Structure 1
Amino acid sequence: MADFPRWIDDPAVVARSSAEAGRLARFYLALQGCQLGRFKEADEHLVELGLPVRLSNDLWTDSCRGFDQPADFSVKVLDHGLPEDLVRKAREALQPDASYWDDHRYHSPDVTFYSHAHQLDCTDHIIDQLIEAMRPSLEEVAPEVSKTLTVAEWWVHQRAPDQWHGHPLHFDTNEQLLRDSLGTHVEHPAMSSVVYLCEDTPRFGATVVTSQRHRFASDSDTAALVRPRMGRQLFFDGGYLHGVMPGKPWMEESPVTQRRLTLMVGWWTSAIRTSEAADPPRPLMAGGDGTWQQQLRDAAVAHNTFRHGRAEEVVLPTTSPVWVDVGREETEVTSCVDPPYGRFFLRHRKQIDEDLFN
């Protein structure tokens, strides 16, 4: 019995651990209830957790029905607009064992957000080439942004098969300015975009884009869901709240488990400051050298070997409102063991704004 945890005899520790396990179980029951459309059951658990605000029913059940997209909802999705070989080569260059992930300590919990600065007209490596290939699409969906670009900020995300919980709802911002100002100054890119380097699978959720802005949430806000498709481009106003919904891994029928891989690009028109390459990595790093950069250079495609396809716009069904109240906001949530909340459930309506610098 020498190796048995000594704290197991402490009633306070045992009670706390049991309570945390219970809260985590409630969270997953609420999550599953929302995904299955059992909202009454889910809402009961959310109220007990002190999370009386959640995303609306249509977003959980992927049943948005509004096909008349509001004119002021700046979201566009394009298929077939990027050269297929560029997309394929970018995916191959960012395989799970690619040096990019280790060189940036991507999986380390101690590393916060970082990104790279793409200088316009640069085609040094495969990601530079892919960003340049996006510019005709940007010109089509946001010509005023395309004409006044200063820099394109890029970063990539991958999710392994067991990482199906989605990505927290957030705003794209000038992260370095946000840090330096201790959260008092918030700037957004003129336009944000996603290139999907994977196919769709129910294991991972859809990207959710809302018209909600920092400090300007409204019941009239609109939301849309975008499913991945290899080479698909998503463009939206850089000030919009967005994220990735949790997936439904139990629905996956394919024997081949996929990962979710995406390239994000923030298109800036302001005089944003870049930074030198660093360790730990920082936002908007320019230049530098490393194994990962050489691998991306090796993956570059000769310019005369790829052709742009003819982009096709995808009609997006929408829904409104984005949030619903399921209880009173006075209750405070108690901490839970590593809860993947993702800001899909909130303590109160202003929580996302308050979390911006956290």
Structure 2
Amino acid sequence: MKKSATAERKRSRDESTTKETANSSIDVTSSDEVLAPMTASAARLMWLEAASAESLNAVETFYKSQMSVLKAKRGSGTRLTPEEIDVRNRLIMLLMQSGRSEQCVVGLTQLGCKVRLASCVLNYTLPLPRQPSVLSSVQAPCIAADGAVPTKAFAALQAALGPLTAAYWTAHDYSVEPPSPYFSFVLPTTPSLLAGTDESCGPLGALIASVYQLGCRRFGDERMKKVHYAELWGHNRPHASGHQLHYDSDDEGRDGIRNPIVSSVLFLLGDVGGPTLVTTQRLADKQLCEHGWLCYPKEGRTLVFDGSVLHGVIPGRGVSPCVGQRRVTVMVALWETIQVRNGDGPGSARPFPSTTPKAQWVRDLTTYPKGVKASSPIDVTTLDVATPEELPQVWERVDGSPVPHGDPICRYDEVYQGF
């Protein structure tokens, strides 16, 4: 299953045929500043884990310089080149995330965009709120709780996935840019596993149980009793790396969209990176959604949400609060049915390995350190659970004005995400 059923409808910006307007002398496209030797890849790496405001300023200067060079190279041509589109996208994101959205209007129009993610989404609150929620004006398709995974299980999962050298990452050649192919693993669930009393899966089993129980608390036992499979995957991302908005779907949306009952995110390392955005947008909708929520990263926080809604990860903005640390998360989706796919190498919905001897990463996820006994399951009905922070809007027109209620949905390439 991968995360990107929206990508089934995605048109590459590299094939954009948008025309440049007559007046392009705005901040997005003009600068006479020239940066000392830096490549595009070096600028991107500097941005991903920026240690200072000076680093971000240097990246911005580089992109502005590149825009001038590329524009001059294009000359009188009316079509933006793929390289120009990429640089412009990145520069607009830097400006949007630093509160300068008014400087992006012409640039967004030149990209062919009609709608953008709202300023309150991309330029989210800093410092990060420590509490998981505020009151919501509408019933949210999500719930968040701190400390829902038993302490010993959480510590074991943190040890298994926290280090960049952990076997889970190295065994699957995980990379961020360029991104490694998506891979996930599926295992059947049992009543005892979902209740947290089956210790055969160790820390992973405790995580699955906590997601199931939080799902019951938010969506009800009747809906959750349909769960028969759990799908697992993970990510470790630098501060400024996001994940495009998408729908979780079996086999990455091939042959139609099939959503899980619920999806979830457990933050193993917090404070780095941007929040997870959950919306009320569903694939069949004819209008852009009006409601969305941000769940900010915090160590030990679990987010559970309706598996059919549009969601993604907003890139971390500003300077990284912990230079060198990643936003490490483990995701579990609970399914009524999902096609398990055998195959060589990493891929979507592979069977979770059950043979002996087990790979190191499997042992890391399913066994406790020597001498450590599993914690008792946590009764999530006793936890303080809450709705993540509600947003005043998810989308805006490129000039920052509200999207009128009932406006028809735009094409994918007319909506600016920036990542």
TM above 0.5, yes or no, is: yes
Which deviations, in whole Å up to 9, do the C-alpha atoms of 1:244-292 show, x marking residues without a partner? 1111242x455x53211111111112x3222336314332423354232
Structure 2's unaligned 5+ residue stretches are 1-69, 400-408
Task: Give the Å deviation of 1:103.
Answer: 1.6
Structure 2 residue corresponding to 1:30, chosen from 83, 89, 92: 92
Structure 1's unaligned 5+ residue stretches are 1-11, 328-347
Structure 1 residue corresponding to 2:118, chosen from 36, 52, 56: 56
RMSD: 3.2
Find the aligned partners of 1:224 and 1:165 in 2 and give their Cα distance: 19
Count of residues in Structure 1 that have an aligned counterpart in Structure 2: 309
Match of 2:183, SS?
Answer: coil
Where in structure 2 are the equivalents of 1:7-18 lying within 5 Å? 15=73
Match of 1:276, SS?
Answer: coil
Find the aligned partners of 2:414 and 2:184 in 1 and give their Cα distance: 22
Query: Contact 1:276–1:286 (CA<8 Å) still a contact in 2?
Result: no
Query: Contact 1:274–1:286 (CA<8 Å) still a contact in 2?
Result: no
Find the aligned partners of 1:156 and 1:190 in 2 and give their Cα distance: 19
Where in structure 2 are the equivalents of 1:134-149 lying within 5 Å? 134-142=211-219, 143-149=221-227
Find the aligned partners of 2:293 and 2:359 in 1 and give their Cα distance: 38
Query: Contact 2:242–2:314 (CA<8 Å) still a contact in 1?
Result: yes
1:173 aligns with 2:231: no
Where in structure 2 are the equivalents of 1:278-297 lying within 5 Å? 278-288=344-354, 289-297=358-366
Task: Give the Å deviation of 1:237.
Answer: 0.9
1:213 aligns with 2:282: yes
Structure 1 residue corresponding to 2:175, chosen from 107, 119, 126: 107
Which deviations, in whole Å up to 9, do the C-alpha atoms of 1:281-316 show, x marking residues without a partner? 332423354232133344468655445274211343
Q: TM-score, normalised by structure 2?
A: 0.65
Match of 2:277, SS?
Answer: strand
* Counterpart in the other structure of 1:196: 267
Where in structure 2 are the equivalents of 1:335-354 lying within 5 Å? 349-351=410-412
- The answer to which structure, 1 or 2, has the higher relative contact order (CA under 8 A, 6+ apart) is 1
Query: Contact 2:142–2:306 (CA<8 Å) still a contact in 1?
Result: yes
Task: Give the Å deviation of 1:96.
Answer: 1.0
Distance change >3 Å, CA 175–CA 23, structure 1 → 2: same
Find the aligned partners of 2:321 and 2:352 in 1 and give their Cα distance: 42
Query: Contact 1:129–1:300 (CA<8 Å) still a contact in 2?
Result: no
Structure 1 residue corresponding to 2:233, chosen from 152, 155, 172: 155
Match of 1:169, SS?
Answer: strand
* Counterpart in the other structure of 1:339: none
Find the aligned partners of 1:113 and 1:28 in 2 and give their Cα distance: 23
* Counterpart in the other structure of 2:339: 273
Task: Give the Å deviation of 1:51.
Answer: 2.7
Q: TM-score, normalised by structure 1?
A: 0.75
- The percentage of counterpart residues that share the same residue type is 26
Structure 1 residue corresponding to 2:165, chosen from 79, 93, 97: 97
* Counterpart in the other structure of 1:127: 204
1:228 aligns with 2:300: no
Match of 1:275, SS?
Answer: coil
